[in-house]
Structure 1
Amino acid sequence: MKKAINIRLDETLLAELDACASELDRTRTYLIEKAISSYFDTLDEMISDKRIDDIKSGKEKLISLEDVFKQAGIDV
Structure 2
Amino acid sequence: MSVVKKLVSLDSAVANELEMLSKTLNITQKELIERALDFYFDHTDSIIAKKISEDVANGKIKVYDAQEVFTDMGLV
Q: How far off its partner does 1:30 sit?
A: 1.7
Q: Deviation at 1:7?
A: 4.3
- CA RMSD between the two structures: 2.2
**Equivalent of 1:6 in 5, 8, 29:** 8
Q: Taking structure 1 as reference, are residues 19 and 46 closer, same or farther at Cα in structure 2, changes over 3 Å only?
A: same
How much does 1:54 deviate?
1.9
Q: May I ask how many residue pairs the two structures share in their alignment?
A: 74
1:52-74 per-position Cα deviation (integer Å, ceiling 9, x unaligned): 12222333211111211111112
- CA distance in structure 1 between the partners assigned to 2:34 and 2:58 by the alignment: 35
Residue in 1 aligned with 2:55?
54
Give the 5 Å matches for 1:1-76: 1-9=3-11, 11=13, 13-75=14-76
- TM (norm. structure 2) is 0.72
Distance in 1 between residues matched to 2:9 and 2:64, nearest whole Å? 40
Runs of 4+ in structure 1 off by over 6 angstroms are none
Structure 2 residue ranges without an equivalent (≥5) = none
**Residue 9 of structure 1: how far off its partner (Å):** 3.8
The TM-score, its normalising length taken from structure 1, stands at 0.72
TM-aligned CA deviation for residue 40 of structure 1: 3.1
